[in-house]
Structure 1
Amino acid sequence: MIIKLLLLCVCVALSSGQYEGETCTNEETGAYGVCKRLKQCEPALKALSQTRKQPQLCSYVREDPVVCCVDNKPIEEEDHESECAPLEASRTQPKNGKKAHDMCVEYQKKYVYPCERSVSILASYSRSNNCHHKTDKLVVAGEDAERYEFPHMALLGYGPLEAIQYLCGGSIISEDFILTAAHCSASAAGKLSHVAIGILARKEASDPSKLYKVKEFIQHPGFASPKKYNDIALVRTEKTMELTHLTVPACLHTGEPVDASQVLAAGWGYLHDKGGLSENLQKAVLDRFPVEYCSVVYAEVRRLLTEGIDETTQYCYGDKGAPKPFQGKFESKDTCQGDSGGPIVIKDSKIHCMYTIVGVTSFGRYCGYADSPGLYTSVAPFLSWIEGIVWPN
């Protein structure tokens, strides 16, 4: 007789209200675990199948129960992709032999629309929908990001762990690499030592399950501080990052024509020109400024831009809207100190629910001032260098 596993019933108390991906403690044994969807937690599935024991509930994601999963190992290593229907052609693109593009398609299939086992002893498979993109147009004022809205974001920490300071941003681009700015190699607090992923608030970086030691910081060979040319770098983690649909790599712009007249910036930098670092991840839409305009704005910093702005490798973005009042003055949307190394992205129009990084935050003359755009390193001109390190085979 076929007996389907019972989903969590109303008698199970929502005791903790914890988010998916957060650490949890089993109330019976005191063992530490991670809040996972029930269908991704092998011990809980086995307990339901064999003893009907209800697992400890953390929360829900849509209709899916999220439980305290003490065994943090992945359910399975083998590929069951052939057991699910292919993604609709309108949601994805075929691979074309370009490494960055093909990996983008692969990450979409693996993390956003994975082929997963259903919660049944039949062990049938179906394609999950783990898309956390908002459906509205990405035109917002600077504001708090939502949890899991930017699953590629990383926070870079400097100095020893007991006194670590998080001062730059970055983007997950594979299971082993973070993309950031070359000038983010070190700070007054010390060298880059750790990266935190899958977090919304700075305080969440203290969770050991979200923290990875840095093995190597790889600056582009053309970067020569204090100049701001070739301001791009890769961070290799000491241990391969355990990615899920909550920590999805971003795609890289491969140089094909895209509408990048507006981009979305995200980071934990300063909220205002003379304010403190943001506790929560912020987002803002920025407008592209012509190089001619930015050349005038940056004419007084020749020490950093000895050859002027390089329009083949540098972008200029800021806020063309009316400045907003703040504490007796007016400010515009912008990236600020602490946002360095973070991405400017667009929604991929062809590979659904994936962000494409078009640039990396480099520097700016001012923060939040009207008509004073920031400078960003374009990703596409450095694609071959990135691919050769991140996906060498």
Structure 2
Amino acid sequence: MKALIIALALFGCAFANVLRSEPVEIRPNIMTYRNAHYQDRIIGGTNDVPHAHPYQISLQTTSSTGVWYHTCGGSIIGDDTVLTAAHCVDSKPASEYRVVSAEYDFNNIEGVETTIYVKELIIHPDWNAAAINNDVALIKIQGVFKYDSNVAKVTLASSTPPDKTVSIVTGWGYTNYESKTRPNILQAITTERCSDFKAWWGTLFNYKSKSQVATYTTRGEGICIGDSGGPLVYESKSTFIQYGVCSYVMTPCASGNPDVYARVSAFYDWINNNK
């Protein structure tokens, strides 16, 4: 986990936390071929309806001992392409990542899950880790996704919805920042898009409205470590439309400050040209 100082206030400082995960001990009853650690959760969320968001994937990587674990979320945007955050994949080669589609409960194998290894990582050329800006990347898998009721593409937003748009974010992030409580079931939370001004003020002037979008939730709710790369969506005519990629929060998580996402519409052309 990395904590980055992003701004100094008059009477103190605040930290922006990219939402990286770290290995945790695997539960013994997870089958060896899955061998993926359960990690983290959205704070204040609830168990998602099984496979209600079939575009959601678990991005997994290996620990120093060669054990696979969940590190970030992502969304299926093409037959062989996943959209995620750049900071999720900027530290290891493609050979050390894999994607699991139709994942729901890390502690229960339903038989619909598919593990696919990664062929290529395409990180946005302007990704700036110090500023946590342009935090998007594409994952090309070895093979293609097989679509069914549990696996589907998400629609990408070519424009950002207006303020107060009711939205949904899903992931396996911490449920409690201090105790680092971790679930095994995919979590979901309903939130709202907040105005660019509120986001700018709430992140101590670090927010960049051209490339980022934010949501505002009450204290005790929001994204946290392990949710990175996951999709922020709204629903229109029974279609989920992704307009954000989970990027960072002001620490501690769920403190009442805005949660920040890469703005999909800002990278719409780049995504489509590279997917």
- Shorter-chain TM-score bucket reads 0.7 to 0.9
Deviation at 1:247, TM superposition (A): 0.4
Q: Give the SS at the match of 1:276.
A: coil
**Structure 2 residue aligned with 1:310, among 208, 224, 229?**
208
Report if the CA contact (8 A) 1:158-1:187 is conserved. Answer: no
Which residue of structure 1 aligns with residue 48 of structure 2?
A: 145
Q: Using a 3 Å threshold, how does the CA distance of structure 1 residues 197 and 283 change in structure 2: closer, same or farther?
A: same
Which residue of structure 2 aligns with residue 100 of structure 1?
A: none
**Structure 1 residue aligned with 2:114, among 193, 210, 213?**
210
- 2:135 aligned with 1:231, yes or no? yes
After TM superposition, the runs of 4+ consecutive aligned structure 1 residues lying more than 4 A away are 204-209, 256-260
Alpha-carbon distance in 1 for matches of 2:192, 2:112: 37
Q: Using a 3 Å threshold, how does the CA distance of structure 1 residues 178 and 148 change in structure 2: closer, same or farther?
A: same
Report if the CA contact (8 A) 1:186-1:192 is conserved. Answer: no
Deviations 1:100-145 (A, max 9, x none): xxxxxxxxxxxxxxxxxxxxxxxxxxxxxxxxxxxxxxxxx61000
Structure 2 unpaired stretches of 5+: 1-43
Which residue of structure 1 aligns with residue 229 of structure 2?
A: 341
- 2:150 aligned with 1:246, yes or no? yes
Q: Which has the higher strand share?
A: 2
**Structure 2 residue aligned with 1:171, among 75, 91, 104?**
75
Q: Using a 3 Å threshold, how does the CA distance of structure 1 residues 191 and 260 change in structure 2: closer, same or farther?
A: farther
Which residue of structure 2 aligns with residue 287 of structure 1?
A: 192
Provide the aligned length of Structure 1 versus Structure 2: 230
Alpha-carbon distance in 1 for matches of 2:142, 2:108: 20
Report if the CA contact (8 A) 1:298-1:365 is conserved. Answer: yes
Report if the CA contact (8 A) 1:318-1:333 is conserved. Answer: no
Alpha-carbon distance in 1 for matches of 2:109, 2:213: 30
Report if the CA contact (8 A) 1:297-1:372 is conserved. Answer: yes
**Structure 2 residue aligned with 1:381, among 244, 266, 273?**
266
Alpha-carbon distance in 1 for matches of 2:73, 2:160: 26
Matches within 5 A, 1:45-194: 142-159=45-62, 163-185=67-89, 192-194=96-98
Deviation at 1:368, TM superposition (A): 4.2
Report if the CA contact (8 A) 1:177-1:236 is conserved. Answer: yes
Report if the CA contact (8 A) 2:200-2:208 is conserved. Answer: no
Deviations 1:327-386 (A, max 9, x none): xxxxx210000000001101123xx3x210010000011244342121111101111111
Deviations 1:291-311 (A, max 9, x none): 333333322xxxxx8xx3211
Alpha-carbon distance in 1 for matches of 2:151, 2:208: 33
Deviation at 1:191, TM superposition (A): 7.0
Deviation at 1:256, TM superposition (A): 6.8
Q: Give the SS at the match of 1:202.
A: coil
Q: Using a 3 Å threshold, how does the CA distance of structure 1 residues 356 and 159 change in structure 2: closer, same or farther?
A: same
Alpha-carbon distance in 1 for matches of 2:113, 2:228: 24
What is the TM-score with the length of structure 2 in the denominator?
A: 0.75
What is the TM-score with the length of structure 1 in the denominator?
A: 0.54
Q: Give the SS at the match of 1:383.
A: helix
- 2:247 aligned with 1:362, yes or no? yes
Report if the CA contact (8 A) 1:154-1:198 is conserved. Answer: yes
Q: Give the SS at the match of 1:264.
A: strand
Q: Which has the higher helix share?
A: 1
Alpha-carbon distance in 2 for matches of 1:364, 1:163: 28
Q: Give the SS at the match of 2:250.
A: coil
Which residue of structure 2 aligns with residue 61 of structure 1?
A: none
Alpha-carbon distance in 2 for matches of 1:285, 1:211: 28
Deviation at 1:276, TM superposition (A): 2.7
Structure 1 unpaired stretches of 5+: 1-140, 300-304, 324-331
Report if the CA contact (8 A) 1:252-1:358 is conserved. Answer: yes
Greater Rg over alpha carbons, structure: 1
Q: Which has the higher relative contact order, 1 or 2, with Cα contacts under 8 A spaced 6 or more apart?
A: 2
Report if the CA contact (8 A) 1:294-1:316 is conserved. Answer: yes
Q: Using a 3 Å threshold, how does the CA distance of structure 1 residues 259 and 293 change in structure 2: closer, same or farther?
A: closer
Alpha-carbon distance in 2 for matches of 1:244, 1:144: 22
CA RMSD of aligned residues (A): 2.7
Which residue of structure 1 aligns with residue 125 of structure 2?
A: 221
Report if the CA contact (8 A) 1:335-1:367 is conserved. Answer: no
Alpha-carbon distance in 2 for matches of 1:359, 1:374: 11
